Amino acid sequence: MKRLLLYLLMAAGTLAAQALKDADVPIQKLVTLKYVEPNTVQRLLAHFGVDIQWDVRSKVIAISGPRNRVSTAEDAIKQLDVPDAAQKDIELTVYFVVGSDQPNLSGNPLPPDLQTTVAALKGTFPFKSYALMDVLSLQTRSGVGAETTGHLAGSRFTTFRVGSASIDGNGSMIRLDRLHAGVRIPVTSTTGRAGATGGQATQTYIDTGISTDVVDVKEGQKLVVGRSSLDGPEKALILVLIAKIIN
C-alpha cells in the first residue's frame, strides 16, 4: 500500500512538472479579427508578456511566446473582438489659438464656443490678447490614424495628425496616439561660398507645435493640449482639441 501511494505521488509530481514545462514551451498563434482593428488590440496585449505583430489590411494579429501566455492573450482578444467594439467614426477638431503680449493681436476673432475656454486660459497664460490662427478638422475611425493641413499667409502651413484613435468600452473617452499639431514655417537659405554672388536660394520648413504620445479626451470636451512658442517668447501657440463620436 505504501509503495502504491509513493508511486502515485511520484506520478503526480511528474505530471505537474510536465505541465509546467509544457506551459513554458514557445508557440505561435495567428488570430483573425472580425470587428476591432489590430491597432487597438495590440496596445492592450502589450501587458501579457508576448510578442505581437499585426497587419491592418488583413486584420490579423500574430502572437508568439510561452504557451500559457499566448493562451491568455488569445482569450483576451476574444473578449475584445465583439460587435459592440466595431469601428466608429471620430471627428477631431483642433483650434490654433495665439496668445500675445501685444494688445492688438492680428488674427481672426475667437468663436463663441471658445470664449469660456480662453477665459480659463487667461488664469494660466496671462497674455494681453488672444486670436484664432486656424481651425483644422479631420475624420478618422477607431484604430485608424489621419492627417490634414491648412494654408496660412506667408507660405505657412498648419498641420494636424494622429497615429491612431480608439474608444474606451463605454464610449465616453477617446484616446489619441502620436498626436501632433503645429505650424510649418518656411526658412530660406542660400547655398554657395560666403560673399559670393549667384548663390542659389533654397526653402525648407521647420515644424513647430506640440507633439504627444498619448492624449485622453472626454467625448465632446474642449481640451487644452498644450502650448509652444511662436515667433519669439512674446507670442505662444495654444492648441484646443475637441473629439466627437459621430456614429
CATH number, domain with residue 71: 3.30.1370.120
Question: Would 2 be classed as within a structural domain?
Answer: no
In terms of domains, do 169 and 60 share one? no
Measured CA to CA, the distance from residue 104 to residue 76 in angstroms comes to 57
In terms of domains, do 37 and 155 share one? no
Show which of 68, 85, 102 is a domain's final residue: 85
At 3 the pLDDT is: 54
At 33 the pLDDT is: 86
Contacts of residue 130, Cβ cutoff 8 Å, sequence gap at least 6: 97, 98, 99, 100, 105, 110, 118, 121, 122
Encode the chain (247 residues) as per-residue pLDDT tens digits: 555 444 544 544 554 445 445 556 788 888 888 877 777 777 777 778 888 888 877 888 888 999 888 988 888 888 878 765 556 789 999 999 988 888 777 778 888 888 888 888 888 888 888 889 899 999 988 777 889 999 888 788 899 999 888 887 667 788 899 999 988 887 777 665 555 555 677 777 777 889 999 999 998 889 999 888 877 777 888 899 999 988 6
* Helix or strand holding residue 45 (H, E): helix 38-45
For helices 67-80 and 38-45, the axis angle rounded to 10 degrees is 140
For residue 157, what are the β-bridge partners? 151, 184
Show which of 85, 107, 129 is a domain's final residue: 85
Question: Would 112 be classed as within a structural domain?
Answer: yes
At 147 the pLDDT is: 92
Q: Is 204 exposed, middle or buried (0-12, 13-18, 19+ CB in 10 A)?
A: exposed
Measured CA to CA, the distance from residue 227 to residue 239 in angstroms comes to 7
Neighbours of 187 (CB within 10 A): 9
3-class DSSP state for residue 86? coil
Question: Would 219 be classed as within a structural domain?
Answer: yes
Question: Would 3 be classed as within a structural domain?
Answer: no
In terms of domains, do 165 and 63 share one? no
Show which of 64, 85, 106 is a domain's final residue: 85
What total of structural domains would you count in the chain?
2
Question: Would 18 be classed as within a structural domain?
Answer: no
Q: Is 66 exposed, middle or buried (0-12, 13-18, 19+ CB in 10 A)?
A: middle
At 84 the pLDDT is: 59
What residues make up the domain containing 177?
A: 89-245
In terms of domains, do 152 and 121 share one? yes
Question: Would 14 be classed as within a structural domain?
Answer: no
In terms of domains, do 98 and 201 share one? yes
In terms of domains, do 167 and 117 share one? yes
Measured CA to CA, the distance from residue 133 to residue 216 in angstroms comes to 24
For residues 167, 237, 132, 122, the Cα torsion angle rounded to the nearest 10 degrees is: 90
In terms of domains, do 187 and 213 share one? yes
In terms of domains, do 123 and 197 share one? yes
In terms of domains, do 120 and 178 share one? yes
Question: Would 170 be classed as within a structural domain?
Answer: yes
* Helix or strand holding residue 44 (H, E): helix 38-45
In terms of domains, do 184 and 114 share one? yes
